[in-house]
Amino acid sequence: MTIDSIEDPPSTAVEQLERFGLSAYAARTFVALARLGSGTARDVSQVSEVPRTRVYDAIDELHDQGLVDIQHSSPKRFWAISSETASRTFEHELQRRTEILRTALDEIEPAQRRAEQRGVWTVNGETAITNRVLEFFASADDEIVYMTVEDLLTDEVIEALGETADRGVSIHLGGVSQDVQDRIQDTIPGATMFESLWVWSDTAAGRLMMVDGEKTLVSALVNGAEATRSDPRSETAVWGEGDTNSLVVVLKAIFTWRLDTGEPK
């Protein structure tokens, strides 16, 4: 996935810098310096609209993080590190911190997790749902039935299906158009394709999954077609596991009936 082109680079940069923990003043000051190269408090204030007297505080913050160098003349001059250096700095720092988080969480986590969670669970967000799906794929022993709208059939999912198929799990894939099927046959050679079970209207469709007849997931897109920037499309899912799980029972009934009696294509 490549980066979407940005409509307003300065404010995009400011937004990201703030999310990385900088104050609004510091973020705007850094961006101002980035376009100036170097400048005085007055220069910065003019292009960033940060009150001049507060530029100094912002600089302190940036200087402590190594993002800005200072020339102690009068007037003081400030110099922002290069875009590339700044990006790498953040990347390293965040890498370091996720590693700390990982080891801390590993130590916290009890030894035996996932002792058969009962009931029906809900998940929000496409990436989170994809994560669950991939985890279920990884736990599959025998069979996967997966129906999806094509929007959600990313390379990541296709690849995971391929790896699972290589492990000897049989794949039944539904809901995808002919040309996408052709593209997929290479990655998942043994996959069986089947038609959508019902009219899979594009507005509220999502995905349906069943693994080994005992783990299921259903999702729906809320703003499928008319997604806007202020109101983007969002995916919501429910999942459940275990023979007796109500969601499993219902989906198993549907899938089994249809896969046995329907025409596998």
Partner DNA sequence: TAGATCTGTAACCTATTTAATCACAAAAGA
Partner DNA sequence: TCTTTTGTGATTAAATAGGTTACAGATCTA
Residues that bind DNA (CB under 7 A): 23-25, 40-42, 50-54, 56, 73-76
Shorter beta-carbon distance to DNA: residue 50 or 145: 50
| 75 interacts with, out of DNA, its own copies, none, CB within 5 to 8 A per kind | DNA
Shorter beta-carbon distance to DNA: residue 25 or 194: 25
* Chain centre to alpha carbon of residue 261: 37
CB 168 to its own copies: min, Å: 24
CB 21 to DNA: min, Å: 8
| 23 interacts with, out of DNA, its own copies, none, CB within 5 to 8 A per kind | DNA
| 41 interacts with, out of DNA, its own copies, none, CB within 5 to 8 A per kind | DNA
| 81 interacts with, out of its own copies, DNA, none, CB within 5 to 8 A per kind | its own copies
Shorter beta-carbon distance to its own copies: residue 132 or 258: 132
CB 55 to its own copies: min, Å: 17
CB 35 to its own copies: min, Å: 5
- CA-nearest of 95, 78, 91 to 26 is 78
| 97 interacts with, out of DNA, its own copies, none, CB within 5 to 8 A per kind | its own copies
CB 146 to its own copies: min, Å: 20
Shorter beta-carbon distance to DNA: residue 41 or 211: 41
Shorter beta-carbon distance to DNA: residue 121 or 200: 121
